[in-house]
Amino acid sequence: MTVAARAGATLTINLDAVAANYRKLRAMLGPGAICAAVVKANAYGLGAAPVGLKLEAEGCRHFFVATVDEGLALRHTFEDAAPSAVSEIFVLSGPSDASVDYFAHGWLTPVLNSTEQIAIWQRFARETGRPLAAALHVDTGMSRLGLTPADFTKLAETPTALDGISPRLVMSHLACADEPDHPLNRQQLTDFQALAAYFPGVARSLANSAGTVLGSAFHFEMARPGIALYGPDPLTKRTRKFSEVIVIKSKILQVREIDLPQTVGYGATPGAGGPTRVATVPVGYADGYPRGLSNSGFAIVDGVRVPVVGRVSMDLITLDVSPLPASRCPPGAEVTLLGDGVNIDDLADAAGTISYEILTHLGQRYHRTYIGAVDPRPRGPGPR
Ligand SMILES: *Cc1c(COP(=O)(O)O)cnc(C)c1O
């Protein structure tokens, strides 16, 4: 029996769809603008190595990760590439005293988010004896990471403040880009333009996926989409612009015919009006199936949309398959839990969460299959 057949559920990741989404995003940009890719958190749960190699084969040369370890892993994935294809990997969380050596080791470019991080990177540049590349992050409305506009301005107006640093990119992050009409978008755009003007000739980047969809005013010299590469809609108003990337399928483990007023699952949730037939499926919150889908999720069995009934437990969910005759939902029948008619944004809404969380929580027990994977190239004289 194959591993796939034994597995309680399978997760299929379509890298050709990731590539198509990348091309779609890149086509939205003007001819001069670079389309980078955000592959933090293991490419939103889908696998930074296979996703990174696929995007690199698609011509992507600029990647963003969150942590230095993610950066090192990605560099390790790319280091077999021909030297001409070496990509720039930006680390969003920036350097610390403990991590600077690893930046050098992995040819990683830090995003400098504070005057403290600038000082750390300058000290390291002095020790290294040459100017070091970095991105400068100015906060225009997130109040999360980045230099305050005041600190950024001071820095820009002090000739020696960036000694040892060669700025590769000036960036900021949009707070409300998923709502195109939100007034903060225009405000952040105006503020960013004014602040970036302190560094003429340095590439500018403001747009995440939603910002990329918002239009050319937000694109500057580089866009940094993440979520749209992986299929979900970046805007709260859904347009279904991007190709679906993941599909999760499982099989019915057991079917129970219920005599009312029996209850279902932990907490003894009463069946509203009473399901008469309940199918148990071997996927639960340990697999990342959100517990928030208790009594609110849905799946597809034999082409019919059926609701989750009762609470999601660690390893199991229960579906109300009463609309189907028993012959169409026997043990072993296929269940579609995500994708292929179960839209990830709709499911996230039902769970009271966002697509990002569903993706990054995908569990380790699925049998994972990649469609369209790119083989790593044979070992060449890469950077390390
Ligand atoms: C995560 C992240 C992105 C990508 O955002 P998406 O909404 O997934 O496109 C871009 N920029 C920064 C700074 C981020 O943290």
Query: Does the active-site annotation cover 40?
Result: yes
Nearest to 377 by CA among 61, 53, 37, 70: 53
Instruction: Determine contact, residues 308/342, Cβ cutoff 8 Å.
Output: no
pLDDT in tens, 152-164: 999 999 989 999 9
CA-nearest residue, atom 6 of ligand 1: 226
CA-nearest residue, atom 10 of ligand 1: 208
361 or 384: whose pLDDT is higher? 361
d(CA 78, CA 163): 30
CA-nearest residue, atom 3 of ligand 1: 208
| Rg of the chain (C-alpha set) | 24
Tell me: pLDDT of 82 over 60: no
Tell me: pLDDT of 171 over 60: yes
d(CA 27, CA 34): 10
Give distance in angstroms: CA of 350 to centre of ligand 1: 23
Instruction: Determine contact, residues 30/36, Cβ cutoff 8 Å.
Output: no
For residues 80-107, average pLDDT = 86
pLDDT at 7: 84
Angle between helix axes 149-157 and 115-128 (nearest 10 degrees) is: 40
140 or 271: whose pLDDT is higher? 140
Could you tell which of 25, 62, 224 is best to mutate to test the pocket of ligand 1, judged by most ligand atoms within 8 Å of the CB?
224
pLDDT band at 384 (very low <50, low <70, confident <90, very high): very low
**What's the distance, CA 312 to chain centroid?**
24
- Indicate which residue of 40, 54, 249, 251 is catalytic: 40
Kindly report which listed range (44-58, 214-228, 367-381) carries the lowest average pLDDT score: 367-381
pLDDT in tens, 99-110: 999 999 899 999
**227 CA closest ligand 1 atom index:** 8
As to burial, measured by CB atoms within 10 angstroms (0-12 exposed, 13-18 middle, 19+ buried), residue 222 is buried
Ligand 1 pocket, CB under 6 A: 38, 40, 92, 173, 208-210, 224-227, 234
pLDDT at 264: 66
Q: Within 10 A of 130 (CB to CB), how many other CB atoms are there?
A: 8
**208 CA closest ligand 1 atom index:** 9
143 or 236: whose pLDDT is higher? 236
pLDDT at 86: 75
Tell me: pLDDT of 373 over 80: yes
Nearest to 223 by CA among 15, 24, 14, 18: 24
Exposure pattern of 306-326 as b/e (b: 16+ CB <10 Å)?
bbbbbbbbebbbbbbbbebee
Tell me: pLDDT of 83 over 90: no
DSSP symbol at 97: T
**137 CA closest ligand 1 atom index:** 13
**225 CA closest ligand 1 atom index:** 9
For residues 279-291, average pLDDT = 98
Q: Within 10 A of 82 (CB to CB), how many other CB atoms are there?
A: 11
Tell me: pLDDT of 144 over 80: yes
pLDDT at 266: 65
Give distance in angstroms: CA of 75 to centre of ligand 1: 20
Helix (H, G, I), strand (E, B) or coil at 34: strand
Tell me: pLDDT of 383 over 90: no
For strand 88-91 and strand 317-320, is the pairing parallel, antiparallel, or unpaired? unpaired
Give distance in angstroms: CA of 369 to centre of ligand 1: 26
Query: Does the active-site annotation cover 44?
Result: no
DSSP symbol at 250: E
pLDDT band at 375 (very low <50, low <70, confident <90, very high): confident
Give distance in angstroms: CA of 38 to centre of ligand 1: 6
Alpha helices, DSSP H only, in the chain?
A: 3-6, 15-28, 40-44, 48-57, 68-78, 100-105, 115-128, 149-157, 183-196, 209-214, 344-351, 355-360
Instruction: Determine contact, residues 68/103, Cβ cutoff 8 Å.
Output: yes
pLDDT in tens, 175-231: 999 999 999 999 999 999 999 999 999 999 999 999 999 999 999 999 999 999 999
Mean pLDDT, the chain, as a whole number?
93
